[in-house]
A and B are shown apart, each in its own frame.
Chain A
Amino acid sequence: AQTVTQSQPEMSVQEAETVTLSCTYDTSESDYYLFWYKQPPSRQMILVIRQEAYKQQNATENRFSVNFQKAAKSFSLKISDSQLGDAAMYFCAYSRLVSFTGTASKLTFGTGTRLQVTL
């Protein structure tokens, strides 16, 4: 079974600074997807970024980027130029590769990291 571990329950960053959230996972599969979801106080789960394991290039989305280390099974999220609106719970999630297999993916979530952004 796959597991996802987020070892930082809480993090804090000053506005305009950079912060990195850590995530490690365990799987015996070679093809899979990894995601970061953001959950602000509104409770909405917002997809921030995703990474396909077969891609060596790290994914980026504006101020958000990942550091994907497949051998180490590590998938960290870097937020640059932090803004007050970035304050939220961040969940790391894993999915098997299932497209075109006739099955559906089950997301395995970590326990989350609460990010505070201070002035």
Chain B
Amino acid sequence: DARVTQTPRHKVTEMGQEVTMRCQPILGHNTVFWYRQTMMQGLELLAYFRNRAPLDDSGMPKDRFSAEMPDATLATLKIQPSEPRDSAVYFCASSSVVDQETQYFGPGTRLLVL
């Protein structure tokens, strides 16, 4: 059963701490997306990668957020330093070469910054 996996599922941290979220896309998928979901803003696209290269990260606050894809099976999203306004659910999604339009989502990381 091919799925996108994300770790951790839940994270509680204090303001100023570094947070790292990890995503394993579906095997063979070459495009990875990071979304953030909040009550106020809904679902926002933060960044996405194609074949491990960043295509667009214009939705991401550059001063504290960074996204990388060190290999084809791992994408990371880091927040340093974290702030209470970063509290949200962060989703990773992936899509395949032959069906770029259809994105499959991971279970999300629920982040709470105190």
Contact = CB atoms under 8 A, between A and B. Distances in A.
B43 interface: yes
Q: For chain A, which range describes its interface: under 10, 10 to 19, 20 to 34, or 35 or more residues?
A: 20 to 34
7 contacts: A35-B102, A42-B107, A43-B89, A104-B55, A105-B103, A107-B45, A111-B42
Interface in A74-119: 91, 95-100, 103-107, 109, 111-112
A37 B93 CA distance: 13
Nearest to B30: A104
Interface string B3-20: 000000000000000000
A98 B100 contact: yes
Contact of B31 (A35, A44, A104, A112): A104
A16 interface: no
B107 A33 contact: no
Contact of B95 (A45, A91, A104): A104
Chain A interface, DSSP helix/strand/loop, else mixed: loop
A91 B100 contact: no
Contact of B101 (A33, A37, A109): A33
A98 to B, nearest CB: 5
A47 B107 contact: no
A43 B108 contact: yes
B105 interface: yes
